[in-house]
Amino acid sequence: MLFVLIFGLAVAGGQTFRAVPGANHFVARVLFDCVLAVTQSLFTISLFLFYWRKQGIPAPAVPAAT
Protein backbone atom coordinates (compact mmCIF):
# COMPACT_ATOMS: atom_id res chain seq x y z
CA MET A 1 0.00 0.00 0.00
CA LEU A 2 2.81 2.39 0.89
CA PHE A 3 4.57 1.66 -2.41
CA VAL A 4 1.41 2.44 -4.38
CA LEU A 5 1.05 5.72 -2.50
CA ILE A 6 4.64 6.78 -3.20
CA PHE A 7 4.46 5.69 -6.84
CA GLY A 8 1.18 7.56 -7.27
CA LEU A 9 2.75 10.67 -5.75
CA ALA A 10 5.66 10.46 -8.18
CA VAL A 11 3.40 10.03 -11.20
CA ALA A 12 1.00 12.77 -10.13
CA GLY A 13 3.86 15.16 -9.37
CA GLY A 14 5.50 14.51 -12.72
CA GLN A 15 2.24 15.08 -14.57
CA THR A 16 1.64 18.28 -12.60
CA PHE A 17 5.04 19.65 -13.57
CA ARG A 18 4.29 18.87 -17.22
CA ALA A 19 0.76 20.31 -17.18
CA VAL A 20 1.47 23.55 -15.31
CA PRO A 21 4.27 25.46 -17.08
CA GLY A 22 4.76 27.86 -14.17
CA ALA A 23 5.47 24.98 -11.78
CA ASN A 24 8.19 23.54 -14.01
CA HIS A 25 10.97 25.45 -12.27
CA PHE A 26 14.36 24.01 -11.32
CA VAL A 27 14.02 24.73 -7.59
CA ALA A 28 10.51 23.29 -7.38
CA ARG A 29 11.56 20.12 -9.20
CA VAL A 30 14.63 19.64 -7.00
CA LEU A 31 12.56 20.09 -3.83
CA PHE A 32 9.96 17.64 -5.13
CA ASP A 33 12.67 15.11 -6.02
CA CYS A 34 14.20 15.45 -2.55
CA VAL A 35 10.87 14.86 -0.83
CA LEU A 36 10.23 11.89 -3.10
CA ALA A 37 13.65 10.42 -2.32
CA VAL A 38 13.03 10.70 1.43
CA THR A 39 9.64 8.99 1.14
CA GLN A 40 11.19 6.21 -0.95
CA SER A 41 13.82 5.74 1.75
CA LEU A 42 11.07 5.51 4.37
CA PHE A 43 9.45 2.77 2.29
CA THR A 44 12.70 0.77 2.26
CA ILE A 45 13.26 1.29 5.97
CA SER A 46 9.72 0.20 6.82
CA LEU A 47 10.12 -2.98 4.76
CA PHE A 48 13.35 -3.75 6.59
CA LEU A 49 11.69 -3.23 9.97
CA PHE A 50 8.87 -5.60 9.00
CA TYR A 51 11.50 -8.17 7.97
CA TRP A 52 13.42 -7.63 11.21
CA ARG A 53 10.32 -8.14 13.32
CA LYS A 54 9.32 -11.25 11.34
CA GLN A 55 12.77 -12.80 11.86
CA GLY A 56 12.62 -12.14 15.59
CA ILE A 57 16.05 -10.53 15.67
CA PRO A 58 16.43 -8.73 19.01
CA ALA A 59 17.62 -5.17 19.13
CA PRO A 60 21.16 -4.68 20.43
CA ALA A 61 21.31 -4.17 24.19
CA VAL A 62 24.28 -1.80 24.05
CA PRO A 63 24.57 0.86 21.36
CA ALA A 64 27.51 0.55 19.01
CA ALA A 65 30.50 2.74 19.84
CA THR A 66 31.26 5.50 17.37
Give the tens place of pLDDT for each residue, 7-45.
888 888 888 888 888 877 888 888 888 888 888 888 888
Q: Cα–Cα–Cα angle for 32, 34, 39, nearest 5°?
A: 95
For residue 22, being part of any structural domain is answered with yes
For residue 59, being part of any structural domain is answered with no
For residue 20, being part of any structural domain is answered with yes
Residues whose CB is less than 8 angstroms from the CB of residue 24 and which lie 6 or more positions away in sequence, other chains included: 17, 18
For residue 30, being part of any structural domain is answered with yes
| pTM of the shown model | 0.60
Q: Which amino acid is at 24?
A: N
Structural domains in the chain (count)? 1
C-alpha to C-alpha distances, 47 to 19, 41, 61, 62, nearest whole angstrom: 33, 10, 22, 24
For residue 64, being part of any structural domain is answered with no
pLDDT surpasses 80 at 63 = no
Structural domain containing residue 42: 2-54
